[in-house]
């Protein structure tokens, strides 16, 4: 009678897994009105969204699907109508998205800054150089390894801007390597290979303890890292959750949430990771 007991066991397993699959729970979440937020890796990797999203969901009853990708991909999702609202940090590309009519109501949310990090012994001797352009020139002149995100993220766009401003055509150089990965992973690669990289401060601070990379250049105006929230134009894509996207954008610039952003990370890092800027003008930042 062993054949029967085998099939019984198998059946029991099947039933157990099906029972576990708690489909009702899953479906319940899907029935709620959902908002798809496409954002950059830095807002998720720094832990900011883990604080903000539950507040938003509690306040409005929406269920947020946070898709954390590079700014480039986030904006591509917006342009295809696959996201309801964007939280991104790639100003030039954002302006194009709005000019093309896909993004509307682009509003300033917060900023922090980019920094140049590298190995402690600083082989290209960029420490003490005030200008980021000069620092990049030194890295290039010394032929020292530079790790680029290479993923069309906001950070990648910023880094390309700096190379351009420094007048260096880095793309084909041997010392210039593209990881194609997120910020956290790129920092890890830079740490392992003792290379330089440009990173947002929030991700660096969150990862600092394991890296062995030092901040070697900071404070230059070119390194400002500005986050905007953009709603997606329902005229272009009728399936957008307009109200949900607007609710999230309004939430991000609301005064109480701006206060949350201001204090986020202070307990853990001793300094805030983001500076709230709702209502300000881009030109006035960093002053």
Q: Which of 48, 187, 223, 261 binds other proteins (CB under 8 A)?
A: 187
The distance of closest approach from Cβ of residue 82 to other proteins in the complex, given in angstroms and rounded to an integer, is 5
Looking only at residues 205 through 264 of this chain, which bind other proteins when binding is defined by CB under 8 A? Answer: 206-211, 237, 239
Q: Which of 13, 120, 221, 266 binds other proteins (CB under 8 A)?
A: 13
The distance of closest approach from Cβ of residue 20 to other proteins in the complex, given in angstroms and rounded to an integer, is 5
Is residue 58 a contact point for other proteins (CB under 8 A)? Answer: no
Is residue 282 a contact point for other proteins (CB under 8 A)? Answer: no
Q: Which of 185, 189, 215, 224 binds other proteins (CB under 8 A)?
A: 185
Of 62-70, 132-140, 164-172, 279-287, which segment contacts other proteins by CB under 8 A?
Answer: 62-70
Of 47-55, 86-94, 108-116, 220-228, which segment contacts other proteins by CB under 8 A?
Answer: 47-55
Q: Which is nearer to other proteins, 115 or 139 (CB)?
A: 115
Distance of alpha carbon 180 from alpha carbon 254, whole angstroms = 35
Is residue 267 a contact point for other proteins (CB under 8 A)? Answer: no
The distance of closest approach from Cβ of residue 184 to other proteins in the complex, given in angstroms and rounded to an integer, is 4
Of 117-125, 130-138, 176-184, 257-265, which segment contacts other proteins by CB under 8 A?
Answer: 176-184
Is residue 20 a contact point for other proteins (CB under 8 A)? Answer: yes
Q: Which of 103, 119, 182, 276 binds other proteins (CB under 8 A)?
A: 182
The distance of closest approach from Cβ of residue 182 to other proteins in the complex, given in angstroms and rounded to an integer, is 5
Distance of alpha carbon 197 from alpha carbon 195, whole angstroms = 7
Distance of alpha carbon 180 from alpha carbon 108, whole angstroms = 28
Distance of alpha carbon 16 from alpha carbon 18, whole angstroms = 5
Print the SS3 string covering the chain: CHHHHHHHHHHHHHHHHHHHCCHHHHHHHHHCCEEEEEECHHHHHCCHHHHHHHHHHHHHCCEEEEEECCHHHHHHHHHCCCCCEEEECCHHHHHHHHHCCCEEEEEEEEEEEEEEEEECCCCCCCCCCCCHHHHHHHHHHCCCCEEECCCCCHHHHHHHHHHHHHCCCCCCCCCEEECCCCHHHHHHHHHHHCCEEEEEHHHHHHHHHHCCEEEEECCCHHHEEEEEEEEECCCCCCCCCHHHHHHHHHHHHCHHHHHHHHHCCHHHHCCCCCEECCCCCHHHCCC
Distance of alpha carbon 108 from alpha carbon 230, whole angstroms = 9
Is residue 99 a contact point for other proteins (CB under 8 A)? Answer: no
Is residue 11 a contact point for other proteins (CB under 8 A)? Answer: no
Binding mask 64-83 for other proteins (x = CB under 8 A): -xxxx-----------xxx-
**Applying CB under 8 A, which residues contact other proteins?**
2-3, 6, 9-10, 13-14, 17-18, 20-22, 26, 29-30, 36, 41, 44-45, 47, 50, 53, 63, 65-68, 80-82, 182-185, 187-188, 206-211, 237, 239
């Amino acid at each position: 009678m062993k054949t029967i007991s085998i099939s019984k066991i198998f059946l029991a397993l099947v039933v157990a897994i099906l029972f576990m699959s708690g489909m009702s729970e899953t479906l319940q979440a899907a029935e709620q009105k959902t908002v798809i937020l496409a954002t950059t890796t830095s807002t998720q990797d720094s832990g900011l969204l883990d604080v903000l999203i539950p507040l938003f969901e509690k306040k409005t009853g929406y269920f947020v699907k946070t898709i954390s990708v590079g700014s480039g991909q986030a904006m591509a999702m917006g342009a295809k109508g696959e996201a309801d609202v964007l939280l991104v940090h790639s100003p030039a590309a954002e302006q194009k998205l709005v000019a093309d009519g896909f993004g509307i109501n682009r509003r300033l949310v917060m900023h922090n800054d980019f920094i140049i990090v590298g190995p402690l012994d600083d082989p290209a001797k960029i420490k003490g150089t005030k200008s980021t352009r000069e620092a990049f020139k030194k890295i290039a002149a010394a032929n020292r390894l530079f790790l680029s995100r290479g993923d069309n993220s906001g950070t990648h766009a910023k880094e390309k801007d700096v190379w351009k401003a420094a007048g260096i055509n880095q793309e084909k150089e041997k010392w210039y390597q593209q990881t194609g990965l997120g910020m956290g992973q790129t920092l890890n690669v830079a740490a392992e290979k003792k290379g330089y990289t440009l990173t947002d401060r929030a991700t660096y601070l969150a990862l600092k303890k394991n890296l062995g990379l030092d901040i070697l250049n900071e404070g230059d105006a070119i390194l400002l890292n500005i986050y905007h929230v953009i709603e997606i134009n329902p005229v272009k894509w009728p399936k957008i959750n307009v109200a949900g996207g607007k609710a999230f954008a309004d939430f991000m610039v609301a005064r109480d949430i701006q206060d949350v952003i201001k204090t986020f990370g202070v307990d853990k890092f001793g300094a805030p990771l983001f500076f709230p800027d709702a209502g300000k003008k881009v030109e006035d930042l960093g002053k």
